[in-house]
């Protein structure tokens, strides 16, 4: 399970950098300096209202950042390019301490790469690691709206 966590996507980086990328109109990871306390996730707006993710709260709840964020402590991939398919400049920025956006790898799902979940699945899997079993999530479909989502 731990191994899986370590390979999991970077929720924070994804959202933060994604928002910056959208704002800037181009992927400019170098501009990201500050981590916001609260992140608004709007990935499945067609079904649910936006989800407010309290990042600050989670930094105190989680044992360490690696619980949610990718780390390279256990390198199980053959080459860097298995994950880092972006331009060398961006990879260099990531290697220098900047986090890659989740969407860098977890974009639209392709059946040709079934091992790479799309962004929605990557984020949900991360949340479910802890939240299944809290309240009625994992017992009832109502768990979705009782835990995170709001009905539209």
β-bridge mates for residue 51, sequence order: 41
Q: How far apart are CA 62 and CA 67, in angstroms?
A: 7
**Alpha helices for the chain (secondary structure H):** 2-7, 11-24, 55-61, 88-95, 119-131, 143-147
Question: Which listed range, 23-31, 51-59, 82-90, 126-134, lies at the site for another protein (CB under 8 A)?
Answer: 126-134
Question: Which listed range, 27-35, 49-57, 66-74, 123-131, lies at the site for another protein (CB under 8 A)?
Answer: 123-131
Contact call for residue 117 and another protein (CB under 8 A): yes
Contact call for residue 45 and another protein (CB under 8 A): no
54 touches 38 (CB < 8 A): yes
Question: Which listed range, 20-28, 56-64, 91-99, 129-137, lies at the site for another protein (CB under 8 A)?
Answer: 129-137
Contact call for residue 25 and another protein (CB under 8 A): no
Task: Classify residue 113 by its DSSP letter.
Answer: -
Q: Which residues bind another protein (CB under 8 A)?
A: 1, 3-4, 44, 109, 111-115, 117, 120-122, 124-125, 128, 132-133, 136-145
């Amino acid at each position: 399970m731990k191994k899986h966590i370590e390979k999991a996507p970077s929720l924070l980086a994804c959202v933060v950098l994604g928002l910056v990328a959208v704002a800037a109109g181009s992927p400019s990871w170098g501009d990201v300096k500050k981590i916001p306390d609260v992140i608004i996730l709007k990935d499945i707006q067609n079904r649910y209202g936006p989800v407010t993710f309290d990042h600050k709260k989670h930094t105190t709840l989680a044992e360490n950042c690696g619980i949610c964020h990718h780390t390279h402590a256990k390198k199980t991939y053959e080459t860097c390019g298995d994950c880092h398919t972006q331009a060398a400049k961006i990879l260099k920025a990531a290697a220098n301490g900047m986090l890659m956006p989740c969407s860098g790898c977890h974009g639209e799902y392709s059946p040709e790469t079934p091992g790479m979940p799309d962004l929605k699945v990557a984020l949900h899997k991360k949340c479910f690691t802890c939240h299944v079993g809290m309240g009625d999530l994992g017992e009832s479909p109502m768990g979705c709206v009782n835990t995170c989502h709001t009905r539209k």
